[in-house]
Amino acid sequence: MKIHQKAQVPFARPLRLPGFLAFFGILLAVVSGCTKLEVEKAFKGDLRPGKANKVIGDYCQSCHIHRDFDPPLHVSKVRSLYKRTVFRKARECRSCHYIEKDWMNNQHERKTRMPEDANRGKFKKFEKKEISRLRKS
């Protein structure tokens, strides 16, 4: 007479929902911690101007090149280099600076709307969008 016993395989048990949710929550927190959501919001204009300038300034100062950089002084000094109204009256860092996301490496590439290019009208699409956004506020 043969006795049939079920083989116990530890991974064959159904997932326990609370444990799985806790693991998934921790994993999500770790992955989302690697993204720079607040920085992205600041550059999009989703934050208040003062808060956005602080976030962008801190982000720029994280780079060794801009470590000793003074954001408020920079904004007041650089505005005079621009001839276009949007840049001349700018109070936010994001008017001249922006980021492009590299999705493959989950990194940002820092970019600048240089005065020479802006004065030639290279950023008219951005200017138009900014003017309409300012009129709504």
Taking alpha carbons only, the member of 81, 87, 78, 76 closest to residue 127 is: 87
Number of residues that make up the chain: 137
The predicted structure's pLDDT at residue 57: 87
Angle between helices 49-61 and 71-78 (to 10 degrees): 110
Three-state secondary structure call for residue 56: helix
Per-residue pLDDT of the chain (137 residues; tens, 9 = 90+): 566 665 555 554 555 556 655 665 565 555 544 447 899 999 998 999 899 999 998 888 887 777 787 888 888 889 999 999 999 999 899 999 999 988 888 788 889 999 999 999 999 999 999 999 888 86
Question: What pTM value is reported for the model?
Answer: 0.67
